[in-house]
Amino acid sequence: MKGTDRHRAKRSLGQNFLVDPAYAARITAAIDAMPGETVIEIGPGHGALTEKLVGARADVIAIELDAGLCFELREKFAGRPNFRLIEGDALNVDYGSLAIGTVKLAANLPYNISTAILQKLAKHSQNFSVLVLMLQKEVVDRITAKPGSSDRGFLTVLVESSFEAQKLFDVPPAAFRPRPKVMSSVVQMVPAKYDIPERPGFRRLLSTAFAQKRKTILNNLKVTFPYAANALSEVGIEERRRAESLTLEEWLRLHAIIGGHAG
- Same-domain pairing of 63 and 87: yes
Output the CA angle 71-73-74, nearest 5 degrees.
65
Looking at residue 221, its amino acid is: L
Asked whether residue 119 is assigned to any structural domain, the reply reads yes
Asked whether residue 2 is assigned to any structural domain, the reply reads no
- Same-domain pairing of 187 and 63: yes
- Same-domain pairing of 186 and 204: no
- Same-domain pairing of 153 and 184: yes
3-state SS assignment for residue 106: strand
Residue 41 sits in which domain range? Answer: 11-191
Looking up residue 242, the CATH number of its domain turns out to be 1.10.8.100
The contacts of residue 164 (CB under 8 Å, 6+ apart) are 189, 190, 191, 192
- Same-domain pairing of 53 and 108: yes
Looking up residue 181, the CATH number of its domain turns out to be 3.40.50.150
- Same-domain pairing of 113 and 176: yes
- Residue 102 pLDDT: 78
Query: Mean pLDDT over all residues of the chain?
Result: 90
- Same-domain pairing of 243 and 119: no
CB 139 within 8 A of CB 145: no
For the stretch 129-172, pLDDT in tens is 999 999 999 999 999 999 999 999 999 999 999 999 999 999 99
Q: What is the DSSP string of 145-196?
A: PPTT-TT--HHHHHHHTTEEEEEEEEE-GGGEESPPSS-EEEEEEEE-----
- Same-domain pairing of 129 and 26: yes
Whether residue 222 has pLDDT greater than 90: yes
Mean pLDDT over residues 115-119, rounded?
A: 93
Domain stops at, among 191, 208, 225:
191
- Same-domain pairing of 49 and 86: yes
Alpha helix (H) residue ranges in the chain: 21-31, 48-55, 67-76, 114-123, 137-143, 154-160, 199-209, 217-221, 228-234, 248-258
- Same-domain pairing of 23 and 102: yes
Q: How many domains does the chain have?
A: 2
Mean pLDDT over residues 209-224, rounded?
A: 95
3-state SS assignment for residue 34: coil
Whether residue 11 has pLDDT greater than 80: no
The contacts of residue 136 (CB under 8 Å, 6+ apart) are 111, 114, 180, 182, 183, 184, 185
